[in-house]
Structure 1
């Protein structure tokens, strides 16, 4: 067996593990994981004053957001796993739209 130090970025992403990868195999994170996630994202969610600022702050923490099926979902940047809705984080899409104006554009 040969060990390779020259992994490509695609290989790193394909085999990279994040604490949020379990969200793809379960319908919902366990309560402890959700509490940690809420605590980790509290500052960016409360500090942001626009959609671009929120996206930038989330990306700094390793996350992104995605609209799907009328919901705003938190996405892990590394695995691209949709973790949960922003409503489960305590910041429903409607509340964020009220704060930031027009709905976030889908990407």
Structure 2
């Protein structure tokens, strides 16, 4: 790969949308995309032992979490699009609060 090709690839990663950037909580992902997302996030969702650990593990995979309207939402880090609720991932906010305690303040 030439220097020019490498620069083009970096630019695409820096400014391009991720596969999740087109998702929205108003327009649910199709079942195949949701299955892939659940599989990709299975480890963080099941092994994290605290809110900070969960957030760090999610961020390592390109996601973040955002509480809004009484729900915890998964957010694509690059596009900042809210993808879905944690409940749709099979891990409702109330279940996570039982494991980790109340939601932390997120900045």
Q: CA deviation at 1:105?
A: 2.1
DSSP-derived class of the 1:59 partner? helix
Aligned to 1:91: 91
Q: CA deviation at 1:27?
A: 1.4
TM-score for both structures, normalised by structure 2: 0.83
Is 2:24 aligned against 1:24? Answer: yes
Q: CA deviation at 1:55?
A: 0.3
Q: CA deviation at 1:42?
A: 0.3
Aligned to 2:3: none
Q: CA deviation at 1:24?
A: 3.4
CA distance in 1, matches of 2:39, 2:58: 13
Inter-CA distance 79–30: structure 2 relative to 1 (3 Å threshold): same
The count of aligned residue pairs is 100
Q: How does 1:22-101 map to 2 (within 5 A)?
A: 22-24=22-24, 27-101=27-101
CA distance in 2, matches of 1:89, 1:24: 14
| Structure 1 residue runs without a partner (length 5+) | none
TM-score for both structures, normalised by structure 1: 0.83
Inter-CA distance 75–100: structure 2 relative to 1 (3 Å threshold): same
